[in-house]
Structure 1
Amino acid sequence: MAAGNFALQDLLKDLNKVFSGSTKCNWLKCILHDILKGDELSPEEKSAMQLFRPLCDDGIGLISTTDVEILLEIAKLTDQHSAKTRIGEYKKNTQGYNGNSVERITPFRRALYRALRHVSTTELADIAAYYYQDSKDFRDVWHFVFYLETHDNDNLLLDSTRVKTERFAKLLNGIAKSNLQVYIDSLPPVQTTTGPPSGSESVASRPASEGQSTKVSWTSVGTVLSSEDYQQLVVKVSYWWKRYGKINKLKVIIGQFKSKLDQSELETNKDPYKLFELLRVPGIIGPSNVDVLIEAVVIGEMGSLDEKLATIRKWLPKFPGFREISIPKYWDHRRKLIEFGRDLGTEEKTLIGRLLELDEEPEDTWMLILQLEKKRTFSDKEKLAKFIKLLKDNEMDHLAAKFE
C-alpha cells in the first residue's frame, strides 16, 4: 500500500473501532487463520488494525487502495452494519476502484466461525477433554481451536478435511454443529475402498502408499496462464509454505530435481518464492505447466487439496478447468521421505544424527533428511539397505518400514 494513502488509513482506523475488544479480535483471527502467519495469530490479544495491516502487504495483497472487498466480506459475515456502511462509503468515494466480488474467505473458515459463535464457555470442558486437554489451559473456545489448528505443525488436530471437521462437529451443540454440517455436506465422501484408515485424512489431502494411485482434481498441461496470473499463483502458493513454516519440508520435496538446481541456493535460501524460482529457471514450472507447483502441495500435505484449489480459483477466476490425474510415480521416493520425516520424533532425529556422525544437530526432521541426502544415504539400493539396517538395529523398525 502506498505511503500517505490516508483515506484507506482512515477506513482501517474506523474498522478498528468496530472490531475492538477480545471477542471480535477472536472472530478476526478465526476468519483470517488461513491468511495470516503464526506470530500474527498468537494467543495474545491484538487490535483489528494489527490484524488488517498484514493484508495490505505486497506478499498478501488482499487489501489495497482500490480493493477492500475482503473487509466487506468480514463485515457481512460478522453482521457488523456500521462496518458495511463505512466500507460502502469508501468504495463509492474511491476513483478507479477495481475490487471484484470473488470470495477471499474459504467456505471452511466461514462455517467454523459461524459454528464457534454458538459454542459457550461451559461446553469447552467436554470438548477439550475429548482431545485429552484441560480446558483450564485455554481462555475460551477460540483459543482452544487455535491450538487444534496449530498442534504439532505437521499433525493438525483440526483442518478443513472431512474426517477432522466431522470429528470436531460431533462434539458441538445442535446449532453449532449444523453450521459446520453445511460445509461438511459440500465435501466429497471419504473413499472407503482405497482410502486411508478411519481417523486419518482423505486421500486427496495426503500422499498414497507405494503402488496406490492418488486421484486429485486440478489443472494441468495443455493450457497457458497469463504471466500475471502465473506470477500471482506462485506468490500466493509461496505464502502458504511460509505461513505454515514448512520451508525445509519444501526443500525435501523439490530435492527431487536437485540435479537441475543451484545447490547453494537450495541449501541456504529460506524464501519459498525464491525456491520456486529455482524450479522456473530450468523450466520445471512455468505459465504452461504448474503441475509441480500443485503436486508439491499434495505431497507436502498442506491441508485439504479441494480447499486449496477452491482458493486458487478465487484468486484466478480464469484458472483452467480441472481434470482427474494421478500423482506421477517419480514422486514415490519423495513420498516415502515425507512419511519418514512426519513420523520421526525429536529423540530419534538426534539419535540418527549421532549414529551417522552428522557435522551439526539438524534444526528439524526435514533438515535431517536434507543432510542425509547430502551424504547420499539413499542414493542406491545398497546404501538404503544399510540405512534401513541401522534403523532396525536401533529399535526404529517403524521408521525402517517407510522404505520397505
Structure 2
Amino acid sequence: MDEITFRLIKTHVADYYNDNHCLVMLKVLFKDHIEPQKLSKMKDTIDLLNALYEKSLLSCKDLALLYNAIKLTGHFALQDKIKATWTSFPDVREIAVTKFTEHRQKLMRFGQQVIQTDVGRIDGLYNTPTKNYKDSWEMIHHLEDKNIIKEDMTDFIAKLKQLDLPKAADALEKPKQGPDAAATPTTELDEDDFNELLTEVSDWWAEHGNIHMLRVLLSEFTTRAKTITLIEIEKINTTFDLLGLLKASGLLKQTDIDILVEATNLCGLQGVEDAIAKIVKIPNFKDVQYKNFSDHRRKLIAFGQQMNRSNMVTIGRLRGITVNENTDPFLLILKLEMKGTLAEGEKMDKFIKKLKDKKMDREVEALTKLNGKPTVA
C-alpha cells in the first residue's frame, strides 16, 4: 500500500468512528498503546490514529492493529467502506486478535454487553453524586482512571453479581476464545438433509417466529446478492420461500448454514436450535459470532423488538404510513426501509433526532447502541 492510500484509509476510519460516536470506545481499546494523559486530551479519532502512526504501531506496511480494532469493536461495515479504496483489505473476522491483551478484549466485550440502565446502576454504586455517564465506554474509561476497573477485576466482578448483572460479569470472566472459537462449524449435509433442515426451520419459525422480522433481517442481502431485492422479499409470504431465496442466491448452502444460526440468535428465537439439532449439531449455538449481519441490521432488529405500540403509531404518522397498535412493528420497519428513512447516514440521523424529540428513549437506544445479541422485549 502506498502512503496516499494509507492516508485515505485513515480518513475513512476516522470519519466512520466519529460518525458512530466511538471515540471514547477507542480510548478504552487503545489505553495500553497510548499514554493516558495524551489519550484523554484527544477530541477526534484522527488524533488517535496519528498517535499510533507516530509510535510506528500503525503504518502503510502494517495494518494489523487496525484489523484487530475493527474486529473487537464489531464495526464490520467499516471494512466494506475501506475496500472501496483498497480492494486487498481482508475480512477481519477471520483474523486472530494478537495486538490487544485478554484484559483489554474483556473490557470490549463488557462495554458491548452493558446496556444504559446497567450503566446507571454501576454509576450509582461507585459515584456520589452520580456521573450520569453517556454510555458504557465513558463509564469504563472513568472507572479505569479511578483504578476500580483494573487487571485484577475480582472485586469489580463480585459487585456486578451483587447488582444482579450476570451477563456483564460473564463478559469479564469468560476465558479467551480463538478467532473462530464460536463460529459455526463447516457442515457436511447432503441434499436431502439440507432440504429437511430448511423444512424444519421454516416450520418452527412459522409457528413461533415472525415472518416480518425475518424479512427485515434478510433485507441485509439486498445489496450483496443481485438476485434479491426488497420487492421480492416483500412479496414472499412463507418462511420456507424466504430461505429458498437465500439458497437460490448461494448465501445459504449445504456447506454453510451460518446465516440460519446467526438469524435465530439475532431474532431471539433460540428455540429453533432443537429443530436444527435434528439434522446437525452446532457447538456453542448461542455464542456464534455475527459474520453475516451488519451492526446496522442488528440495530434495526433491536429497534423492532423495543418499539412501543403507541410510539409505533406516532412513528408511522411522522412518515406518512398508516398503522395502528395491532400492526407488526417489523412491517413498519419494512415500509420505512422502502421509503429510505432507515438508510445509514444522514437520513438515519434525522430519523433518530425525530425519535429523541418525541422522547422515545428505548427506540433511540436500540438504534444508537449495539448491545450484542438483542433479546425479545
- Structure 1 length-normalised TM: 0.43
- Structure of greater Rg: 1
- Structure 2 length-normalised TM: 0.46
